[in-house]
Amino acid sequence: MGRSILDEAHTHPAIREIVAGNHADIVREVQAAVSANDIVVVGMGQNPFPKKARKVLEGQGLQFKYLEYGTYLSGWRRRNALKMWTGWPTFPMIFVKGVLVGGANDLEKLSHSGELARLLGGKV
């Protein structure tokens, strides 16, 4: 099932550039990290779930790139651009081999089922 996204044809030409450029820097930064690293965890300060995800990965001796953007009290507008880009509603956002796999609980399930190892080509 595809995700509903308002297509450009239904966005007035006068605001298309604003929509396209809305905190595009944070999206580009995450895209670059995802391209350059097998595992990327995108989180925020004060949230225990990014820490949980990092512990799962560290416990398996896996290297990953961690990006942190703001806290519950700051940076929410910038983080919102990531939510709109991915469609994922919470943090962390975890990417494995360029694929969004979900959050900390999803990563834990993948790890326990052996799917994480499969995604990484048996590196676990």
Burial 21-44 (b: 16+ CB within 10 A, else e): eebeebbeebeebbeebbbbbbbb
Q: How many CB atoms lie within 10 A of CB 124?
A: 16
Architecture of the CATH domain 8-119: 3-Layer(aba) Sandwich (3.40)
Q: What average pLDDT does the segment 63-76 reach?
A: 97
Helices (H) and strands (E) in the chain, counts: 6, 4
In the prediction, which pLDDT does 123 show?
Answer: 64
Rounded to a whole number of angstroms, the CA Rg of the chain reads 16
CA proximity to 93, closest of 115, 61, 65, 121: 65
Length of the chain: 124
In the prediction, which pLDDT does 66 show?
Answer: 98
pTM (2 d.p.): 0.94
pLDDT tens figures, 3-40: 899 999 999 999 999 999 999 999 999 999 999 999 99
pLDDT tens figures, 36-52: 999 999 999 999 999 99
Q: Phi first, then psi: what are they for 8, rounded to 5°?
A: -60, -30
pLDDT tens figures, 78-114: 999 999 999 999 999 999 999 999 999 999 999 999 9
